Structure 1
């Protein structure tokens, strides 16, 4: 869960491949982004120490999931599909009315003789009774059909998020907005995650929050990735009750996972807000279980918005996030916990931190943390709860993402056959400098910029080739991840 941070701001956990897939507005400030200290890196927040065990500092190379620091060269990242064999720099993470069948037959015209009645005449009540019986049969049949349909579904996969099971209204009034009020509101919705890691039950500790009244919980993918197939995952609620959890679906690209536990009165859904209305300097509150310390609350401000960050050690474990940056203290174990505004609404999911860890130093908070915007969380959760899997947008090109990248745009390394990028006329060595009019500074910002959009959307790319600037439109394809 720890990554070595490439030049420029980085910091989400395990995700997709390095490629021109995804979408993000450019850096909020003009000019080249400030480069971090040469030894700075992004660390994932899940704590992979046994729960309750003493955590002794250890060399980064000896910690689970950590790659030893080293100079990163120029690399390219696939944007079309994951490419496990693709070499890349090492990084360290932490969802009518009825239509009539036809017109009623016309009655006899005026002056026509009355129709001849044959046989016994039916009582007047017969037809209303028949109609009522048909209605009852229809209702019963419909109910039975619905029941059969629902019983055929995967019990862990529902029909997506529903306003009837989630909360969005601000739970805290403007006259009572304080950190203590936010804590009182959110702690009952915050949980600790204990997941198997490297064969050890509870070897990874992280955080999460209750999404809805159906018992769905949001956390980071990197917290539960090792236990997703055959490991154990427990969710500990605010009352200290342990619930056995299963993975409904997860996305390594966005570093998100949806868990399912049996619905309980002790699991209260958190209210979902919006990150788009956040302002730099606005107070925010972080919740989670840093270093195994459950029900921990820290506060700070929004340090930056639309921050392109990435973490991961391989193409299978890399993620790219259009992050909310905060100085609220978050540490290993905070992964998956909610970042909340003073109205008591979740605006992001804590995912990674940047560190300046040198030799023999353990990763820890230095006031530079990153959260996945809640809009992406809702989109990914909706996909998982509707279909059981998450998808991300791609164009079918690889871009340079190493230390020697230009910071003047995203340089295209390769355009793959039969892809949206090829259809749009992109070529190797083209320089993408903007997406939908928003500046792109390097390969990472292009990937993040694409991934904040949805498959099927058409984006306008500004491309420089041979010193000449042109604009091309590309319709995003998709991959599972």
Structure 2
């Protein structure tokens, strides 16, 4: 299986690799060997894929018309008048007068019936000759007045109106091919945050990256700094008057919170989808060096539709604040380089992205948080320490080779990737409590995480 993040181009790194011994939980540590691998039916991969021109099928609709049934004439039935009992005998003269009166009344009834019948026939003939010229169709009705309603606060429409001006489409052309992704405007003078795998290969004279803005302006961009380990990059366009995005926070984002994803899936810029935060603290191998442990993300999971080309675009809360950078999607089968959303998308939490982006913008490189250990998967749940960096945080905290780390603060550590993700969720200088299972039984150790340029 392969594991890629959406929106890049050319050759895509396989992701995730089978569960193998990973490198240190932090930049610069070398990966160990000999870690048990996952069975094939347990593997999953995350898609980092190139832009593909979508094919649209236009559906045809046929409308059947039936002629209106002819207008039927109204039928009249003669009436029977009562006779017999109830009448008294009369003199001959009286009988004669009554007989004429009956004839006159009968003639009046016949005349009335004939008049009604004639009117019905005349109306039917007039209808057939004139057709339905008096009918009103939808096509002849005037257009309604332009809607004056405003988007309610906290609606997807209101969020889209706020955030769309701060999202760009990034078009990348290199010797390996072409691809597209998304970016988030950080400043009015053209600084843009995106994924490293979107612009990888587009700098240092190896390719061309172009930003397409929502106001239809476009401009070439230069790469300011990249960090493959966090899969983040900052680029710069020489454009002014842009609308910077509002960065929120992800530490207190609850599972189930509504979110909106904006980007350029399959090259369709300005696409808006919505969903919820499905889970937090997901260790996901995506982007980076062929899906190695170097590229583990401490991801937010969402069911908002994220597709190839959404990479680098924002995941925002219902206040329009960026809470994550869309980076990866789950792909259920192998050989699906352009697989689309199955409701499992992953984003880098904005708390981590803000710190990395600040360093990339200011210095061109980023500092990785590290515990100072080389780790692999334990036979039971946990991350087994294979080596300890001399003088590092782990050694100073009393962690030894062979120890199995099962928890960091209140976060359970199920495997090596989970420990890497947990360490990267912190900033250098953070103090954490680590729960350890070792030869002497369970114990805890307090460690102060450090930073390492990578």
TM-score, normalization by structure 2: 0.69
Instruction: Give the aligned partner of residue 365 of structure 1.
Output: 341
Native 8 Å contact 2:27 2:294 kept in 1? no
Where 2:4 maps in the other structure, the secondary structure is strand
Instruction: Give the aligned partner of residue 29 of structure 1.
Output: none
Alignment deviations for residues 222-279 of structure 1 (CA, whole Å, 9 cap, x no partner):
10111132221111101222111111112112111111112322x2111222223322
- Is 1:394 the counterpart of 2:370? The answer is yes
CA 1:359 to 1:240, structure 2 compared with 1: closer, same or farther past 3 Å?
A: same
Where 1:245 maps in the other structure, the secondary structure is strand
CA 1:181 to 1:355, structure 2 compared with 1: closer, same or farther past 3 Å?
A: same
Q: Within 5 Å, which residues of 2 pair with 1:316-335?
A: 318-335=294-311
Where 2:200 maps in the other structure, the secondary structure is helix
- Is 1:309 the counterpart of 2:303? The answer is no
Alpha-carbon distance between aligned partners in 2 of 1:274 and 1:345, rounded to the nearest angstrom: 8
Q: Within 5 Å, which residues of 2 pair with 1:411-450?
A: 411-450=384-423
- Is 1:196 the counterpart of 2:142? The answer is no
Where 1:176 maps in the other structure, the secondary structure is coil
Instruction: Give the aligned partner of residue 245 of structure 2.
Output: 270
Instruction: Give the aligned partner of residue 480 of structure 1.
Output: 453
Alpha-carbon distance between aligned partners in 1 of 2:452 and 2:19, rounded to the nearest angstrom: 27
TM-score, normalization by structure 1: 0.65
Alpha-carbon distance between aligned partners in 2 of 1:229 and 1:316, rounded to the nearest angstrom: 24
Q: Which has the higher contact order (CA 8 A, sep 6+)?
A: 1
Q: Structure 2 unaligned segments of length 5 or more: list them.
A: 38-42, 49-149
Instruction: Give the aligned partner of residue 6 of structure 2.
Output: 45
- The partner residue of 2:216 within 228, 235, 240 is 240
Alignment deviations for residues 154-192 of structure 1 (CA, whole Å, 9 cap, x no partner):
xxxxxxxxxxxxxxxxxxx99522111111111111100
Alpha-carbon distance between aligned partners in 2 of 1:42 and 1:280, rounded to the nearest angstrom: 25
CA 1:236 to 1:229, structure 2 compared with 1: closer, same or farther past 3 Å?
A: same
Native 8 Å contact 2:313 2:326 kept in 1? yes
- The partner residue of 1:251 within 224, 227, 231 is 227
Alignment deviations for residues 404-442 of structure 1 (CA, whole Å, 9 cap, x no partner):
x55622111222333322233222221111112432222
Instruction: Give the aligned partner of residue 79 of structure 2.
Output: none
- The partner residue of 1:65 within 9, 12, 16 is 12
Alignment size in residue pairs: 343
Q: Within 5 Å, which residues of 2 pair with 1:348-387?
A: 348-359=324-335, 362-387=338-363
- The partner residue of 1:410 within 383, 390, 404 is 383
Where 2:394 maps in the other structure, the secondary structure is helix
CA 1:270 to 1:82, structure 2 compared with 1: closer, same or farther past 3 Å?
A: same
Which has the greater radius of gyration?
A: 2
Alpha-carbon distance between aligned partners in 1 of 2:366 and 2:252, rounded to the nearest angstrom: 26
Instruction: Give the aligned partner of residue 156 of structure 2.
Output: 179
Instruction: Give the aligned partner of residue 79 of structure 1.
Output: 25
Alignment deviations for residues 341-380 of structure 1 (CA, whole Å, 9 cap, x no partner):
1211111110001111235674221100001111111111
